[in-house]
Structure 1
Amino acid sequence: MILCRWNHSWLLWENKMEIIRDNRKHELLRILKYMYYAAEKEDIESIKALSNLYNEQMVKIFDRAPWKHETEAFEWDNARNAAIGIPTLLGMYKTKRFKENDYEKMKKAQLAELLKRIKKVEEYLI
């Protein structure tokens, strides 16, 4: 009888952990969307702060990197990398590595890639 209670308790605990993990994934998605809006506005400081929050949540959910290719953790990390690409482009534009027209084209392409990756990670929440 004790074993049955323990087993039942264990199943409840696993279920609770799964719910907590799902809530954290929703939090990751929310942070990722905020990073998208900050990238549109070219707010580098916000992107850096959100990236740090994102990294902390990633470690809580998926443990530490490196994450294997084609896994869920890899896809979440890949989405964050697309958001971090915007400040890199802005820095290269400010140091005159390319012209304004090229910068705008690359920024639009990077934002489109970020949206595509956000849609991809949203599939894990359904």
Structure 2
Amino acid sequence: MTATHVDGVLVVGDEPTVTPMKTNSGKKTVVWEQTRTLRLEDGRTVYGCQHCDYTSPNQYSVRPHLMKHNRRRPHSAHVPSAANMTLANLLETATQIDKLTTDMEAWKARALDAEDKLRALRAQTR
């Protein structure tokens, strides 16, 4: 789903991006499959994302963008859409979120207290 046009100019070539880096053995060039080298009809070269129409004139700008596509997302089967939930289910989910938030705050307080105690112990041993 790489871009087919960039700034209104047709993409005439789409290839994986060859980097200036070499493998650990130094014999092979590293190729980024998800970063695409796009040749445009007007002779320019830009770099694009394999997953969407994001493009940049800088090949190194595409790599951070790829994180948007690679983040681990919960499976939709485990996270129902609020639009498909009944009012009872929404209230139950809200109650669970409140309980988790309360539990998280309690664990955070315990962790901060433990850090303070550890800091005090370390100060005593110096």
Q: Structure 2-normalised TM-score?
A: 0.25
Query: Relative CO higher for 1 or 2, CA cutoff 8 Å, sep ≥ 6?
Result: 1
Greater share of helix: 1
Greater share of strand: 2
Q: Structure 1-normalised TM-score?
A: 0.25
